[in-house]
Chain A
Amino acid sequence: MKWVIAELIKIFVCEDDPKQLEQIVSYVKNYLLIENLDMELVLATEDPHEVLKYLEKNKVDRALYLLDINLNADINGIELADKLKERDFNGKFVFVTSHSEMVFLTFKYKLEALDYILKDDSKGLQKRVIEVINACNDLFNRSGVDNEVYYQVKTGNHVRSIRVRDILFFESSVVPHKVIVHLLDGQFEFYSTVKELEFENDAFFRCHKSYVVNVNNIKSIDRHTREITMVNGEKIISSVLACRKLVKMVQE
């Protein structure tokens, strides 16, 4: 039998200014040396295509990418990240950017970046590099022991994972084939039907023609009015038959 040792987390740095590249690399190297983390710096380059080439030739399991936005090449850091994401879905991205190139929403919602580092603030640069290395390390090590249950929603080409314990209930929209999922901190719509959702998780229960409720997030049930109150105070209605079943389920 062979022992499987978790591979080191690979760090990539891509920055077109040699001076700044050198600076970042030295911060990374020094920190790794001191802290002895399960990480290694595998590539530091001025050319974005080298990063892509590396990924073509080698299998990358867990990686942290520190990317500059303006790369002085045919692609910029955002496009590079887009391409890298296709090959390395789990990769964590951190953008090194000047204030004027800052695109906050793109980082957060389109690229799902881990963080960004403002390079205008040259004094805080080292501190920030260390912070993102730690954050990335925590994230990868935590995901190993994460036994949180997720429900995956497909929207367009994207798959979105939501924690089951954040889900309150699903509601069918007035428009056919659209479902609204109500979460602890908000709600969003996607294309599906409540009929299909019922069987996606044991905690989901079809309590009404147009509702599937997460049994674990019910605060109370009024048996006379058949009103279900969720943990956040939101109320939905239940059918007669389902209400009886639900009361039993919750009591167990």
Chain B
Amino acid sequence: MVSILICQSICFLVDIRVILNDFKYKKADWFILFVLFPALLLLYQYAQSLAIVGYQVMFLLYILLITRDIKVSIVIEAISFTLNTIADHFADILTRNFNSNTFYILFFILINCLFVLVMYFLLKRMRSIGPSKKLLVSNLETIVSLISITIITLMIIMTEIIKDNPFDNVVYNVIIMFLIAIMLLAASYYKMMRLKRTFIIRSKDQRIKNDNRYIYEMEKHYAELRKFRHDYQNILLSMDEYIETDDFEGLKKYYNTSIKPISSQLNHQKYGLEDLSRVGNKELKSILFNKLYSAQMSGIEVSFECKKLITDFYVDSLDLVIALGIILDNAIEETKQQTDGFIQAGIFSDDSEITIIVQNSIRDNEVPVWKMRVKGFSTKGNNRGVGLSNLSEIIDRNHALTLETMKKNRIFLQKITIEMGDSRID
């Protein structure tokens, strides 16, 4: 019986780690070895019902040690426990005739592995469509999870352990548990879909707002051009006058006082963002305009270059938009602190790749690039540098993307390269 207990615990552990999508060694693992196992064995000597309750409390503690979030822990506990119990019941039903522990363990592991695999791919899919990778859990879900745990535990104690595991009850219970599991799955799938929809709607709203602003800026720009044309014509007319009368001295004076200042003024009023019209992807154009324009408004010198029309960016636009957003936000945050900061962005393409470059001036600091990329690093205190490690995550989940980060001569450069060709498989 001890081997069964240990086998179940290990499977439980695997379930938890798969749901957390984290397979690294943790200090909390010692808890399993030195607290959980001994305590379970002790409780089991005493009474099986106590062992089951203890089993759950212990694992809940273990998840809590890893996640440090009670709500998330309860939900993960509920999912793992339900899977674990269903696997146990199936294995029990299938091997009851053999009356052998080895057979039971074999089947139990097999069924559990099957569940884990299904779970793994399901979660992977959910993570890939979800806007945020963090597990967000509402109060309702926590309560539902708590209720399911209680029901299942009571069911097992009342109808199985006390009555010495009659076969019929085990079958009934597995059916009920199965139904509970399906119900929970359906509910969470529905929630996922709703989250995705609100996210899409929100980003669309943002895009429309940005598009409107873009159009407004274009119109303003156009009006200025019209005014300039008017001035230009006037200048030509007056120059005509000087030439007709052969007044070369006057022309010289007129040039120096009236024309030259306009020319230098034109240089300063460089708009810098005209090339955005060559970015053929709406989402990308929108984020670039939104960030660069707001940077320009806060006094940062901004330029954007794109000489060839690019319509297809080959990777998921949403990922690219998030990645660019992080890069641009960092650039803006840094340049805002400087008196004459600048941001230069550009997109280039050739036959094999598209390159997106953002570089900005930085203040003097001795922090090497690798330190900036560590999670949580920021020159402005804790918890603000999450961006760069999120960026790596996005790059890592798109095989066609590669990232370059350089810091040289007081310039910080980030370059995303999109490899064309083999991208759509992901």
Contacts and interface: CB of A to CB of B under 8 A. Distances in A.
A163 interface: no
| Minimum-distance CB pairs A-B, first 9 | A186-B406, A188-B404, A105-B346, A189-B402, A156-B352, A156-B353, A99-B267, A157-B352, A103-B305
A105 B305 contact: yes
B270 interface: yes
A138 to B, nearest CB: 19
B294 to A, nearest CB: 20
Interface of A: 78, 99-100, 102-106, 109-110, 120, 155-158, 173-175, 178, 182-183, 185-191, 232-234
A87 B413 CA distance: 30
Given A106-B348, A156-B352, A188 B402 contact: yes
Contact of A233 (B368, B407, B408): B368
5 contacts: A106-B305, A106-B346, A109-B415, A175-B399, A187-B369
B395 A189 contact: yes
Interface string B282-321: 0000000000000000000001010100000000000000
A188 B396 contact: no
Contact of B303 (A104, A110, A120, A174): A104
Q: Which of B359, B370, B403 has the most CB of A within 10 A?
A: B370
B305 A100 contact: no
Interface in B322-352: 344-346, 348, 350-352
B101 interface: no
A140 to B, nearest CB: 23
Contacts of A158: 353
Nearest to A184: B368
Contacts of B406: 183, 185-188
Contacts of B408: 185-186
Contacts of B203: none
Contacts of A182: 370
B267 A155 contact: no
Interface residues of B, number: 39
A120 B353 contact: no
A206 B264 CA distance: 57
Nearest to A234: B370
Contacts of B355: 109-110
A103 B357 contact: no
Contact of A186 (B303, B344, B369, B399): B369
Interface string B379-399: 000000000000000011101
B396 A173 contact: yes
B266 interface: yes
Contact of A174 (B344, B396, B405, B415): B396
Q: Which of A110, A156, A174, A183 has the most CB of B within 10 A?
A: A156
Contacts of B357: 105, 109
A155 to B, nearest CB: 7
B353 A157 contact: yes
B276 to A, nearest CB: 14
A188 B344 contact: no
Interface of B: 263-264, 266-267, 270, 303, 305, 307, 344-346, 348, 350-353, 355, 357, 359, 368-371, 373, 395-397, 399, 402-408, 413, 415, 417, 419
A185 B408 CA distance: 6
Contacts of A173: 396
A110 B348 contact: yes
A65 B370 CA distance: 38
Given A100-B266, A173-B396, A234-B368, A157 B351 contact: yes
Contacts of B404: 186-189
A64 B312 CA distance: 35
Given A104-B344, A186-B407, A155 B368 contact: no
Contacts of B407: 185-186
Given A120-B263, A120-B267, A156-B353, A185 B369 contact: yes
Contact of A189 (B267, B352, B371, B403): B403
B3 to A, nearest CB: 33
A25 to B, nearest CB: 24
Contacts of B345: 105
A39 B391 CA distance: 48
B305 A186 contact: no
Q: Which of B305, B345, B397 has the most CB of A within 10 A?
A: B305
A183 B413 CA distance: 14
Contacts of B413: 186
A99 B270 contact: yes
B204 to A, nearest CB: 30
Nearest to B412: A186
A156 B419 contact: yes
A78 B344 contact: no
A190 B402 contact: yes
B187 to A, nearest CB: 32
Nearest to A176: B399
A78 B307 CA distance: 10
A232 B368 contact: yes
A178 B404 CA distance: 13
Contact of B370 (A104, A109, A155, A187): A187
A157 B417 CA distance: 12
A191 B419 CA distance: 10
A218 to B, nearest CB: 15
Given A104-B303, A104-B344, 17 more contacts: A103-B307, A105-B344, A109-B346, A120-B267, A155-B417, A156-B417, A157-B352, A175-B399, A178-B402, A182-B370, A185-B369, A185-B406, A186-B369, A186-B407, A189-B403, A191-B402, A233-B371
B403 A188 contact: yes
Contacts of B397: 175
Nearest to A105: B346
